[in-house]
Chain A
Amino acid sequence: MSNSLKGSSTVIATARLIAAKDLRVELRSRVLLNQVLPFALIVMVMFAFALDSDAVLERVAPGLVWLATLFSVLVMVSRSFAVETADGALDQLRSAGVPATGIFIGKMLALMVQLMVLVALLVGAAVVLYRASFSWAGGVLLVTTAIAATCGLAAVGTLYGGLAAGAKGRETLLPLLLLPVVAPVLIGATRATESAFGTNGIAISEGWPWLGLLAVFAVLFSVAGAVAFGPLLDD
Chain B
Amino acid sequence: MSPIAHEPDTDVVIDLSDAVAVLGSFPALAGVTMVVRRGEIVLLRGPNGAGKTTLLRLCAGLIPLERGQGQVLGIDLKNDRELVRHRVGVIGHNNGLYADLTVTENVRFWGRTVGASAAEVDAALHRMGLDGRLADLPVSRLSAGQKRRTALAGLVARRAELWLLDEPHAGLDASGRDELDQVLKMAAASGATVMVASHELERAGQLATRQVEVVAGQVRELGAP
Interface residues of chain A, those whose CB is within 8 Å of chain B, are: 10, 13-14, 17, 21, 24-25, 28-29, 83, 86-89, 91-93, 95-99
Contact = CB atoms under 8 A, between A and B. Distances in A.
Interface of B: 1, 60-62, 82-83, 85-86, 89-101, 105, 109-110, 112-113, 115, 138, 158
B92 A88 contact: yes
A99 B86 CA distance: 11
A98 B60 contact: no
SS class of chain A's interface: helix, strand, loop or mixed?
A: helix
Given A87-B97, A96-B86, A99-B1, 11 more contacts: A10-B1, A14-B1, A17-B112, A25-B98, A83-B100, A87-B99, A88-B95, A91-B96, A92-B96, A96-B85, A96-B158
A87 B96 contact: yes
B85 A88 contact: no
Contacts of B101: 21, 24-25, 28
Nearest to B109: A21
A86 B139 CA distance: 12
Given A87-B95, A96-B158, A97-B82, A25 B100 contact: yes
Contacts of B105: 24
A10 B3 CA distance: 11
Given A96-B85, A97-B86, A14 B96 contact: no
A9 B99 CA distance: 28
B95 A17 contact: no
Contacts of A28: 100-101, 138
Contact of A98 (B90, B95, B113, B138): B113
B113 A17 contact: yes
